[in-house]
Structure 1
């Protein structure tokens, strides 16, 4: 009989919402929308702050290699640290199965120190992240509340404005940032790096990172992670299977190397339909995205770009249009651009029938900003022995850099046999 009562109590417990409260950060319930929904079928409460063991590790320009631990419960730890109220504060929050002392978090701080004076706080919640996914996804509620508590302590004790705070969250950490933002009126910025979908897609705004969580919200998705619809105010889609935090980290040192193009889809972007930048310009994905804040509509927007497939990831996009001259032939045409800061590789523009007078266009992503374009080199070949040795040339090549309105024209009256370089100079 005892066993039957136990079963009945368990069943009763399954339908009764539970709530758990923690000092300083408030109460957490397992009622909808936090649990018992299609996205979150299991009723799981977040662990206590003690069990999660969240730590705030402060690095600054003065202590770039070793952290100082800040305790929101003990403001004297802030007083005794290198935290400076006249600087911005950027929190970096790791995700599932990760930890706050991972190299990538410190690397990101160090890149910041190269370009700015900043309080860089790595949020370590490894005990709460290295568990089952469902538990970790609920633990972010407490982690986000603790981040909000820390911001509140800074605001109350030091008159430090939340508008000076930027939260950078990777994976589950992006949703922890969203939780902190929803508890912090006037928070400056949140950047989500590949925010995870499971347990968050299709949930109401209070559960996930959303555009209302900060004055400026930007999200980087790599193509390994599908877009969560309506997640970020500005969604940047970088197409290569690599970790978004690496892109963000490198963007700090490359203020113009991650220009991103407003576009309906990646397919449209790949089809060269989203070039050059519109009149208001193109935002930079990553660290400098907020420089663009006033120039986009308040509506959520998507921007696309290609990145390198290994470090260095920065790319500069160029559009090229070629008007052919000479004899009709079959083959392929390549061009390389030469500027005062360097030159590009040879890029394919056309393969097929090369008809004099026809114009062909393509776009490509160069590994460097070549600066002022001074000349263009044209090359064609067809890898088939042709006894007539036709000569093909480019009467005109126009070049445009993605972020610039200026179109540069290069001309030549010469034609060349295959595999012979033809140099075009400004018309």
Structure 2
């Protein structure tokens, strides 16, 4: 029996090396039960190929079968994009098909897909076998591992990591790029870099986190019960993107223990949750960047999401901005709009304050509540992040309103005095200043702040 619950097990294959359930691959909390991967013959991953010359019908690449390559449209001089699905998925899922189409629209690539029998234990075998295939393509056909970009979703992210680890022979000879799309968390969160995707696995590693959680390490069922994320929260790349904080994505509300069971049954609901809306947002976002490479997918370096929402991380100075997705590799190391208000010349007030930005088109506006309820002191500044479904580009005007929470205003309405407003547009970093110069605004009214 290859699995002994009382001691680490190990198995070796001539051209693929050894696999063990011990060492860094065992952890009593995160990985309490370990299985060895299936044999190479049983895992037997399939590698399909699409190019611009065969967009609709795939050919299949087989290791040690030269005819499978020569009879295909594989061009070793072209960059190669490898797409790898996650658990309870397959290579014909709609998101895989759409990503392939977007990639071939973006560039003249070899678009490869990896199809495999899914389990955490088999990820190492699939990754090792994929590394072997790439080495063979180098030796027999002149391909270059530096021109390979492995795009993996969920468990596929860690398969990409094992592939890259198998291809790293030196600093000058390694896999070109890995993109981890919401890398799987259960059995990987908090583990040694040998076990999961990490920055040493390719020359450039980027990751998009959309369903992350660090609250319940390793236990998938508990994550499902408590609607906790099933992706990694820890950084695993040279650059890690956390859209909407990396946890809850707009429009995703389903839960296995509510309407899913009623409408789908517990088995299908479980499958839906495991391939959940939040978890699937990462490949959707990546595909959108390839289909719309000139669109705004700008991201900002920030310590945490609260700091970002407060508008404290909106500067691109010092190379602190990068583009999420297909263009992430343009970032070389060295949210939308930022508003700051200062006020003076009035007594302390208690209330709420809202700023509205007006774009070039009068139909594009965005509003931000800078202060939901609280004190406004003379000389105090406020700042925040303005977002809207339709980007407000080219801000041409600013209106400020506020409402006093004080009941003691029998004789006159309270006022605040506004010194100025500074707006920084996140997309283009355009800065505009509006000078209030002590402009008086009564409670329950709004006024435009003139441009300086």
Post-superposition shift, 1:419?
A: 5.6
| Larger mean Cα displacement after TM superposition, 172-181 or 141-150 | 141-150
1:35 touches 1:44 (CA, 8 Å); kept in 2? no
Residue in 2 that maps onto 1:306: none
Q: From 383, 406, 412, give the equivalent of 1:361.
A: 383
Structure 1 length-normalised TM: 0.78
Post-superposition shift, 1:120?
A: 1.9
Residue in 1 that maps onto 2:165: 182
Residues 1:67 and 2:62 are matched in the alignment: no
Q: Secondary structure at the match of 2:146?
A: helix
1:33 touches 1:204 (CA, 8 Å); kept in 2? no
Residue in 2 that maps onto 1:148: 131
Residue in 2 that maps onto 1:336: 356
| Larger mean Cα displacement after TM superposition, 244-253 or 324-333 | 324-333
Post-superposition shift, 1:282?
A: 1.0
2:366 touches 2:386 (CA, 8 Å); kept in 1? no
Question: CA–CA distance in 2 between the matches of 1:418 and 1:12?
Answer: 73
Q: How does 1:370-389 map to 2 (within 5 A)?
A: 370-382=392-404, 388-389=412-413
Residues 1:398 and 2:422 are matched in the alignment: yes
Q: How does 1:20-419 map to 2 (within 5 A)?
A: 20-21=12-13, 25-33=15-23, 37-38=27-28, 39-125=30-116, 128-129=117-118, 136-185=119-168, 186-226=174-214, 227=232, 229=234, 231-238=236-243, 239=245, 240-241=247-248, 242-243=278-279, 244-252=282-290, 253=292, 255=294, 257-292=296-331, 294-296=332-334, 316-324=335-343, 330-340=350-360, 343-351=364-372, 352-354=374-376, 358-382=380-404, 388-389=412-413, 394-402=418-426, 407-412=431-436, 415=440
| Larger mean Cα displacement after TM superposition, 49-58 or 222-231 | 222-231
Post-superposition shift, 1:183?
A: 1.3
2:16 touches 2:129 (CA, 8 Å); kept in 1? no
Residue in 2 that maps onto 1:299: none
2:368 touches 2:384 (CA, 8 Å); kept in 1? no
Post-superposition shift, 1:391?
A: 5.7
Once the two structures are superposed, what CA deviation does each residue of 1:229-268 show, in whole Å capped at 9, x if it has no partner? 5633323223242222223223332556333333333344
Once the two structures are superposed, what CA deviation does each residue of 1:38-88 show, in whole Å capped at 9, x if it has no partner? 354445221133433421222333444443322233232333333333432
1:20 touches 1:45 (CA, 8 Å); kept in 2? no
Question: CA–CA distance in 1 between the matches of 2:95 and 2:9?
Answer: 39
Question: CA–CA distance in 2 between the matches of 1:359 and 1:36?
Answer: 52
Question: CA–CA distance in 1 between the matches of 2:46 and 2:31?
Answer: 27
Structure 2 length-normalised TM: 0.74
1:391 touches 1:416 (CA, 8 Å); kept in 2? yes
Question: CA–CA distance in 1 between the matches of 2:133 and 2:425?
Answer: 44
Count of aligned positions = 389
Post-superposition shift, 1:356?
A: 6.4
Post-superposition shift, 1:290?
A: 0.9
From the superposition, tell whether residues 383 and 411 of structure 1 become closer, same or farther in structure 2 (CA, over 3 Å).
same
From the superposition, tell whether residues 394 and 81 of structure 1 become closer, same or farther in structure 2 (CA, over 3 Å).
farther
Once the two structures are superposed, what CA deviation does each residue of 1:100-140 show, in whole Å capped at 9, x if it has no partner? 11111112222223432322222111xx21xxxxxx11111
| Larger mean Cα displacement after TM superposition, 36-45 or 103-112 | 36-45
Question: CA–CA distance in 1 between the matches of 2:43 and 2:153?
Answer: 18
1:323 touches 1:395 (CA, 8 Å); kept in 2? yes
Instruction: Please list every run of 5 or more consecutive structure 2 residues that lacks an aligned counterpart in the other structure.
Output: 169-173, 215-231, 249-277
Question: CA–CA distance in 2 between the matches of 1:73 and 1:191?
Answer: 27
Post-superposition shift, 1:330?
A: 4.5
Post-superposition shift, 1:393?
A: 6.3
Question: CA–CA distance in 2 between the matches of 1:368 and 1:13?
Answer: 56
